[in-house]
Amino acid sequence: SWSQMLGVTSLTPFQPSPSHVIESWSSSCLSRTQQMNYRPASQSISNSASWEKAFRDYKKFHNQCSQGRNWTLQFLEDATESNHSRDSHHSASSCGVLVYVEGSAGMGNRLLSLVSAFLYSLLTNRVFLLDSRGHLPELLCEPFSDSSWLLSSNFPFKALDEATTLGEFDQAAALAGDFSAQVVKLQLDHDQTISDQRFFCAETRKALELVPWLVWTSNQYYGPRFFTFPELWEPLTALFPNVSLTFTHLSRSLLLPSNSVWDKVTRMYSSYLTHVDQLLGVQIRRHSVDDRGRYDEAAFHRILHCLTGRKFLPNVGLSNGSMRQESQTPGRYSPPRVNYAVLVTSLQIKFFEELRDLYTNVATVDRSLVRVHMVSHEGVEWHSFDQDQKAFIEMWLLSLSDRIVTSSMSTFGYIAQGLGALRPLVVDLRGEISEQTSASMESVCYFGQSIEPCNHHTFYPTGSNCAVNQTTLSDIHLAWIRSNLLPCQDAPAGLQLA
């Protein structure tokens, strides 16, 4: 079973029942069914019936293709076959595959690219399989009922790493039907080359339909970009009528913590973050070239100014005479209700300590109580399993908040806001921050225009490198793009669904 493969023990005893297959599937991944119990009512989003159906259909397809098939043997067989059937891979006997290779980026980047790769698989009828060398297989639940997404540890992964890249792939030959590539690697990282960018040409994607195995390596979110592909636009708008929930639907189906991770998420949540009027998530991420994640006072002041200026937290000010009235009736002290619990996530503990000390030492002007928490402070970023797990737990905890504050350009924050269907308040913490600069509140602390993550790197071929020029998009598609895809607020060269 998957749970054995993942080394996860089911926390719910198995109850045989007529629908035991479904039951064992849902109890094998507790976060799938329990996540809504932890989300505030404000986060409930209307289901997209078409997405639910497409995901169910995909699971059936995944099962059918996996039945009785050993992917390692299948790969060896396909890779040695010199002249693959000219029919597209969708014939009954063979199923096209897309393998997601995890790479070494941060958790946020990896999860965004995993979701993008899966969406592309689903839209192009490929079985989505996961490289088992990375950390994600242990951190995530198996998302598809009855058959695994994991390639086994004896899979020849090196062959995937060394596969033909788009630059070496002869798409003209493929389109002419004279074609032999069995495995093609799509390198879609931020530092992709001009030849990798041929993926953004419709004719390349057409030629790739004939390739039985695609390998996807990336650290980017491509949701918005897929909506610009002429062949995907209509299916996508049918799946996600409310485009600003695209990533929310995908992530709530796919980025589910495995039982052992979920156990930690729920324990931390129940120990620290419940029984409050409002739970506020504050994600503090500094991207500076020299010293990643550094604390400095100017950054702290900017965050505080933003939190109080935008009324996410009350101001402090009454240093005396502010005692709350206690009941005069003798008896055991009963603590007042906490008005705000704040979960601070950051590599640096000092951001948390400063905020906690402020709200402990000085009373708030409206006498409300603010309790501040942090669950980890790793100091530096180095992507060990343990650090990836902490990062994933914190993204999930942030996503359970009533309101969220994120740092600009951070994919860590994008995952939290997307899972939570939360429109963030964004603080710009990039580069040097000086106390002297009188940056306006609007420019350094603004409300997100959307729940969606930003596709940071959008400016790939706009036609010139493609045989079929992008300007051949239909007028109706172009009009749709103009009103639904916006430049990102934190990365104006990027694209965001809004």
Q: Find the part of the chain contacting ligand GDP (CB under 6 A) among 26-34, 177-185, 344-352, 435-443.
A: 344-352
Out of 411, 458, 470, 489, the residue judged to bind ligand GDP by CB under 6 A:
411
Interaction between residue 406 and ligand GDP (CB under 6 A)? no
Q: Find the part of the chain contacting ligand GDP (CB under 6 A) among 26-34, 220-228, 409-417, 488-496.
A: 409-417
Interaction between residue 353 and ligand GDP (CB under 6 A)? no
Interaction between residue 220 and ligand GDP (CB under 6 A)? no
156: left (phi over 0), alpha (psi -120 to 50) or beta: beta
Interaction between residue 494 and ligand GDP (CB under 6 A)? no
Give the separation between CA 400 and CA 39, rounded to whole angstroms. Answer: 5
Q: Find the part of the chain contacting ligand GDP (CB under 6 A) among 103-111, 233-241, 297-305, 433-441.
A: 103-111
Give the separation between CA 142 and CA 148, rounded to whole angstroms. Answer: 6
Out of 24, 187, 346, 368, the residue judged to bind ligand GDP by CB under 6 A:
346
Q: Which of 302, 264, 268, 265 is nearest to 286 (CA)?
A: 302
Residue 258 or 364 with smaller CB distance to ligand GDP: 258
Give the distance, in angstroms, between the CA of residue 201 and the centroid of all CA atoms in the same chain. 25
The answer to whether the CB of 255 falls within 8 A of the CB of 382 is no
Residue 131 or 388 with smaller CB distance to ligand GDP: 388
Out of 390, 403, 456, 457, the residue judged to bind ligand GDP by CB under 6 A:
390
Give the separation between CA 334 and CA 339, rounded to whole angstroms. Answer: 15
The answer to whether the CB of 488 falls within 8 A of the CB of 494 is yes
Closest separation in Å from C-beta 285 to ligand GDP: 5
Residue 111 or 232 with smaller CB distance to ligand GDP: 111
Give the separation between CA 449 and CA 273, rounded to whole angstroms. Answer: 27
Question: Exposure of 199 by Cβ count < 10 A (0-12 exposed, 13-18 middle, 19+ buried)?
Answer: buried
Interaction between residue 108 and ligand GDP (CB under 6 A)? yes
First to last CA, the chain: 40
Degrees (nearest 5) of the Cα angle 346, 351, 355? 125
User: Taking CB under 6 A as the rule, which mask of x and - marks residues 269-288 in contact with ligand GDP?
Assistant: ----------------x---
Interaction between residue 88 and ligand GDP (CB under 6 A)? no
Rg value, the chain, Cα: 24
Interaction between residue 163 and ligand GDP (CB under 6 A)? no
Interaction between residue 124 and ligand GDP (CB under 6 A)? no
Interaction between residue 102 and ligand GDP (CB under 6 A)? no
Closest separation in Å from C-beta 107 to ligand GDP: 4
Closest separation in Å from C-beta 373 to ligand GDP: 13
Helix (H) or strand (E) holding 238: helix 230-239
The answer to whether the CB of 102 falls within 8 A of the CB of 385 is no
Residue 111 or 473 with smaller CB distance to ligand GDP: 111
Residue 146 or 381 with smaller CB distance to ligand GDP: 381
Structure tokens at 23: 């039951």
Interaction between residue 417 and ligand GDP (CB under 6 A)? no
Q: Which of 386, 363, 384, 360 is nearest to 375 (CA)?
A: 386
Q: Which of 138, 129, 71, 66 is nearest to 100 (CA)?
A: 129
Query: Which residue do the tokens 């402090």 mark?
Result: 316
Q: Find the part of the chain contacting ligand GDP (CB under 6 A) among 138-146, 257-265, 316-324, 404-412.
A: 404-412
Give the separation between CA 100 and CA 77, rounded to whole angstroms. Answer: 20
Give the separation between CA 496 and CA 318, rounded to whole angstroms. Answer: 42
Out of 97, 98, 107, 497, the residue judged to bind ligand GDP by CB under 6 A:
107
Give the distance, in angstroms, between the CA of residue 326 and the centroid of all CA atoms in the same chain. 46
- For ligand GDP (CB under 6 A), the number of binding residues is 20
Interaction between residue 496 and ligand GDP (CB under 6 A)? no
Give the separation between CA 486 and CA 493, rounded to whole angstroms. Answer: 10
Interaction between residue 145 and ligand GDP (CB under 6 A)? no
Give the separation between CA 322 and CA 328, rounded to whole angstroms. Answer: 17
Closest separation in Å from C-beta 66 to ligand GDP: 30
The answer to whether the CB of 236 falls within 8 A of the CB of 242 is no
Out of 2, 61, 106, 255, the residue judged to bind ligand GDP by CB under 6 A:
106
Residue 392 or 480 with smaller CB distance to ligand GDP: 392
Out of 180, 371, 381, 463, the residue judged to bind ligand GDP by CB under 6 A:
381
Out of 181, 306, 313, 391, the residue judged to bind ligand GDP by CB under 6 A:
391
Q: Which residues form the interface with ligand GDP (CB under 6 A)?
A: 105-109, 285, 345-347, 376, 378, 381, 383, 387, 390-391, 394, 410-412
